[in-house]
Structure 1
């Protein structure tokens, strides 16, 4: 039985949609096809690949959230196009594009605001992924403290949710956040 393979759109089209050159896209495609010979990745494969980067922790939940952010068509799979468009934003997008992408990641139910529960789920998944044996050792209360700090800083009108406007405004005024947004500017 022949396996149906997904073929990505042409390189020229992807050069237009992303901030990558043809050569960079070719290298990325080789790596993608190596891990995902069918040309698309489902959530289980994505989790398996992602877990290799965090062997000391459990990255399952964070990889789930990340997969949902990469799966822009909500069809349960990530194509090469989905992958490189998101990667382009993360690595080379404008500050606003990067912040919008991060907001979308944190807005788990995609209703346009981040709730305390959503941020708690994200923080717990990040701490699970980092593992219990970090140095210095993290306190069990660390995820809750992170969420409290996030809402104290971001929820400008104290209504219990963070909107995209509050998120963008606060992030753009925070020097540490702005510096971290430039962290991947020279990758690849």
Structure 2
């Protein structure tokens, strides 16, 4: 890439990602190149694959839930090509690390809307909660406990009472109670791991 093209790309990413300055974007571009080098040759040059993405989020942010990691990948992969491009990488991290509440609500809703129909259904809630809960009451069918949780969530968050959550339902619930942002599973890094990630990457220490 020529120097002029590189400068244009950095400036474009500063505008689209919003939350990073010039040196931070350049550091994320270097990390991106490192991740592409680890990826399968199929995507060489264009981006990095799902495996590298999952490994990176696991090591950087401690994310381990397979369903959540796949959904986060799909949310980053806006072009639905099965790889993460540089623009998707920088814009996605901008929301993950420094997004406004509005940006994070839209991101979490997309993660939780498993089939992309614009709603979080009871079935989708069940699927996500089933994977994120570790301990089940011994005297109860595990699925029954999760169904109870789903009903509690719907009762609390379904403001228009149609049995599913629209973005409007989700947004109102989260604005009333911020803890509901990750109601159906962890899909954002915690503050501590975000700070450590930024310190490593923006000081250009290899991951």
**Normalised by the size of structure 2, how large is the TM-score?**
0.68
Q: Confirm or deny that 1:125 pairs with 2:131.
A: yes
Map Cα deviations across residues 36-77 of structure 1 (whole Å, 9 max, x no partner): 22351222332344444688x963332111111111111211
Q: Confirm or deny that 1:150 pairs with 2:115.
A: no
Alignment check: 8 A CA contact 1:20 1:88 kept: yes
Map Cα deviations across residues 51-104 of structure 1 (whole Å, 9 max, x no partner): 44688x963332111111111111211112101112112322221121011111
Map Cα deviations across residues 104-142 of structure 1 (whole Å, 9 max, x no partner): 111111111100111222223334xxxx5xxxxx22646
Per-residue deviation, 1:145: 4.9
Q: Confirm or deny that 1:113 pairs with 2:119.
A: yes
**Is the alpha carbon distance of 1:145 and 1:85 closer, same or farther for their aligned partners in structure 2, counting shifts above 3 Å?**
farther
Matches within 5 A, 1:50-129: 50-52=57-59, 59-127=65-133
Q: How many positions carry a matched residue from both structures?
A: 170
> Structure 1: which 5+ residue stretches go unaligned?
1-6, 133-137
Return the structure number with greater strand share.
Answer: 1
Q: Which residue of 1 aligns with 2:21?
A: 21
Return the structure number with greater helix share.
Answer: 2
> Structure 2: which 5+ residue stretches go unaligned?
1-5, 38-43, 182-187, 199-207
2: distance between equivalents of 1:104 and 1:139? 27
Alignment RMSD: 3.2
Q: Which residue of 1 aligns with 2:52?
A: 45
Alignment check: 8 A CA contact 2:173 2:180 kept: no
Alignment check: 8 A CA contact 2:67 2:131 kept: yes
**Is the alpha carbon distance of 1:146 and 1:46 closer, same or farther for their aligned partners in structure 2, counting shifts above 3 Å?**
farther
